[in-house]
């Protein structure tokens, strides 16, 4: 197992592609060489909404993904005065239907308030 830990800022669009069956496919994720056909990624960070509005979260996956948001849901936040305690805490799951080859999808809309940091964790 390879564990890579590096802080990245400004990542807003996450994509990783692998093609072919039963073969190890080499590629890169965030500039790190990795077998893109066999990996797990866990990303953690904070979302600081620029506006006080509804935000849509949408996932389309081939295999599995999980997104958790909120203090105590994603992880315990560092400073309660900057973290949210306004009732936004949720988890999303999406799973590929391998039998029917159907992409896993999940979508939710959440009202979030600017000026608060929302802990987030994405695993895929």
Domain ranges in the chain are: 41-123
Residues 62-95: pLDDT tens digits? Answer: 888 899 888 777 776 655 555 555 667 888 888 8
Other CB atoms within 10 Å distance of the CB of residue 71: 20
| CA atoms within a 13 Å half-sphere pointing along the CA-CB vector of 69 | 24
Class of domain 41-123: mainly beta
Residues 2-36: pLDDT tens digits? Answer: 444 455 555 555 555 555 566 778 888 778 888 87
Closest alpha carbon to 121 in 92, 88, 82: 92
Cα four-point dihedral sign 58, 71, 41, 22? negative
Angle at CA 32, nearest 5°, toward 95 and 60? 20
């Amino acid at each position: 197992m390879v564990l890579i830990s590096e802080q990245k800022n400004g990542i807003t669009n996450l994509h990783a592609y692998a093609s072919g069956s039963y073969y190890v496919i080499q590629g890169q994720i965030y500039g790190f060489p990795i077998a893109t056909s066999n990996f797990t990624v866990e990303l953690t960070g904070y979302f600081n909404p620029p506006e006080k509005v509804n935000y849509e979260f949408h996932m389309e996956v081939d295999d599995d993904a999980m997104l958790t948001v909120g203090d105590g849901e994603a992880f315990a936040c560092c400073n309660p005065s900057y973290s949210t305690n306004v009732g936004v805490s949720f988890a999303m799951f999406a799973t590929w239907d391998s039998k029917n080859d159907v992409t896993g999808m999940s979508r939710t809309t959440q009202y979030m308030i600017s000026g608060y940091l929302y802990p987030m964790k994405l695993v895929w």
